[in-house]
Amino acid sequence: AQKITQTQPGMFVQEKEAVTLDCTYDTSDPSYGLFWYKQPSSGEMIFLIYQGSYDQQNATEGRYSLNFQKARKSANLVISASQLGDSAMYFCAMRGGTDKLIFGTGTRLQVFP
Amino acid sequence: ETGVTQTPRHLVMGMTNKKSLKCEQHLGHNAMYWYKQSAKKPLELMFVYSLEERVENNSVPSRFSPECPNSSHLFLHLHTLQPEDSALYLCASSQAETGTGANVLTFGAGSRLTVL
C-alpha cells in the first residue's frame, strides 16, 4: 500500500527565512513520482514541484526545492526566502504504478513579518 | 476562461435535496477527477474518468453519482446526502497516462458543500 506522511501540522517562519516542510512516503513500486501542492485559503490546489524516483538530481523551481532522499523515503520541500504570500497549506503527494495520486494530511505554513 | 472552473463555489443543501456540482476544464486534458477534502483528513480520491470512461470508483456511496459527458466537463450529482458529506469537493484534470510520470493534476478552486 502507498502512504504519505506529513508530521508537521503547522509551521511558522519569519519573512525572508528558509523553511523545510517534511514528507515521508511508503511504496513498493520501483517507479513513482512525488509532488508538492500549495493550497491558499481560496481553496485551489496549486502545483509547485515534481520529483521522479529515478531523477538523479533534486528538483528545483524558483524558490522551491525538493530534498529527495530515496533511501530514507523522504521528499522534503524547502522554501527559500519566505514571503507573506507563502502562508498556506502545503500537501505532499505521490503517484505510483496505479496512477492514483494520493496526498498527505498537509502542513499549515504561516509566514510572519 | 482558462484552467479548471468549478460551480457553484458554495452550496448548502438539506438531506433530501438533489443538487449537482459542475467542473469544466479548458486545458485540453483527457482525464478528470473528483476529490473530497474533509477537515484534518487527506484528500480522498472519489472518481477518475479517463477518455470519458470511469476508471476509478473509490468505494464511494451511491448517493454520489458522477457524470462525464465529454472530456471537458465533469459533474457530481448529489442526492440524500448526510451531514458528514459536508466538505470541499475538488475537481482536477490531467493528461491520461498509465504508470508514473510528471502528468500534473490541475485543480479547480473547489465547491464547499454544507449538508444540513
Q: Which residue has the cell 483527457?
A: B30
pLDDT band at B39 (very low <50, low <70, confident <90, very high): confident
Would the pLDDT of A100 be above 70? yes
Asked if pLDDT for residue A90 goes beyond 70, the answer is yes
- Nearest by CB to residue A50, choosing from B90, B98, B102, is B102
Q: What is the pLDDT of residues A28-53, one digit of tens each?
A: 888 899 999 999 998 899 999 999 99
Q: What is the mean pLDDT of residues B31-37?
A: 94
User: Quick one: pLDDT at residue B15?
Assistant: 86
Count CB atoms within 10 A of the CB of residue A62.
10
Show Cβ contacts of residue B102 under 8 Å, excluding neighbours closer than 6 positions: A33, A50, A52
Q: What is the C-alpha to C-alpha distance for residues B4 and A109, in angstroms, rounded to an integer?
A: 25
CA separation for the pair B34, B68 (Å, rounded): 11
The mean predicted confidence, pLDDT, of chain B is 89
> Cis peptide before A113, with omega less than 30 degrees from 0?
no
pLDDT at B97: 65
Could B104 and A50 be called an inter-chain contact, meaning their C-beta atoms sit closer than 8 Å? yes
| Grid cell at residue A2 | 502507498
> Shortest CB distance from A44 goes to which of B56, B104, B108?
B108
Reading the block at residue B58, the C-alpha cell is 473509490
Lowest mean pLDDT among B26-35, B52-61, B69-78: B52-61
Confidence of residue A2 (pLDDT cuts 50, 70, 90): confident
CB contact under 8 A, A102 and B106: no
Interface mutation target, options B9, B43, B51, B58, chain A, most CBs of A under 10 Å: B43
* pLDDT for the residue numbered B101: 62
Pick among B29, B36, B47, B104 to test the A interface (most A CBs inside 10 A) = B104
Distance from CA of A93 to the nearest CA of B (A): 10
β-strand partners of A13: A111
Percent of chain B whose pLDDT exceeds 90:
71
pLDDT at A87 over 70: yes
* Whole-angstrom distance, CA of residue A64 vs CA of residue A77: 7
Q: Please, which pLDDT band fits residue B2 given cuts at 50, 70 and 90? A: low
| B100/A97 touch (CB, cutoff 8 Å), yes or no | yes
Q: How confident is the model at residue B1 (pLDDT cuts 50, 70, 90)?
A: low
For residue A80, pLDDT over 60 is answered with yes
User: Does A72 score more than 70 pLDDT?
Assistant: yes
What is the C-alpha separation between A59 and A35, in angstroms, rounded?
Answer: 10
